[in-house]
Amino acid sequence: MPYLPYFSNCKGYGSTIPFWALMEQHYVCELVANEDTFWMGSFSFGLAPVADGCEEVIIQCTYDEIFMSQSPLPRWYEVEGETPLFELSTEPVDYFDLMQKDFNAIEVLAVAPAEGVGEENSVPKEVAFGVSYYQWNRDAKRLIGVEMEYGNVEAITEKE
């Protein structure tokens, strides 16, 4: 899927956050022109890359879930720590090409919270989502790590 699941109703993005938009169009992201990009190869010891980067992207979202209702399965923020929620492909995949491919042939990284919320009827007010990548040629990046952490966990009240 070409967007981040579970994150919706976010300021500046609407009902979904396209992954490419998060990485390439947020105001804190610094994009380097292709001709100025210097990527790291196998023998680039002692050199520094010159590539796109985003640090401390902060997005405000509103939960879609109805908190006090019963759910037959844990909601995304109720899963145990290290339970995969979704996967990201390590290399760019055109959406229409993706429909033609064998899904098992695509290398992916699982996105899972480091720790669960820990308590019933509690929600994280902050979610930190980290993506590490390297520029492997002038035009493409490869994801090498993803992480997710819940923060500022609060009990759900009747008002919410």
Print burial letters for 55-77: b (CB count within 10 Å at least 16), e (below 16): eeeeeeeebeeeeeeeeeeeebb
Q: State the alpha helices, DSSP H only, in 26-136.
A: 95-98
Domains in the chain, number? 1
Q: Report pLDDT digits (tens) over 94-115.
A: 777 777 767 777 899 999 999 8
Identity of the residue numbered 140? A
Q: What integer pLDDT is reported at residue 160 of this predicted model? A: 57
Q: Please give the residue that has the higher pLDDT: either 6 or 1.
A: 6
Identity of the residue numbered 118? G
- Domain with 94 in it: 3-64+71-155
Residue 148 lies in a domain: yes
When pLDDT is cut at 50, 70 and 90, the band that residue 75 belongs to is confident
Residue 85 lies in a domain: yes
Q: What is the DSSP letter of 80?
A: P
Residue 122 lies in a domain: yes
Residue 160 lies in a domain: no
Residue holding tokens 């979202």? 61
Q: CA 55: distance to chain centroid?
A: 13
Residue holding tokens 């009827």? 121
CA dist 85 and 94 (Å) reads 22
Residue 57 lies in a domain: yes
Residue 46 lies in a domain: yes
Q: Report pLDDT digits (tens) over 11-24.
A: 988 889 998 888 88
Q: Which residues contact 102 (CB under 8 A, 6 or more apart)?
A: none
Whole-prediction pTM: 0.83
Residue 134 lies in a domain: yes
pLDDT at 48 over 80: yes
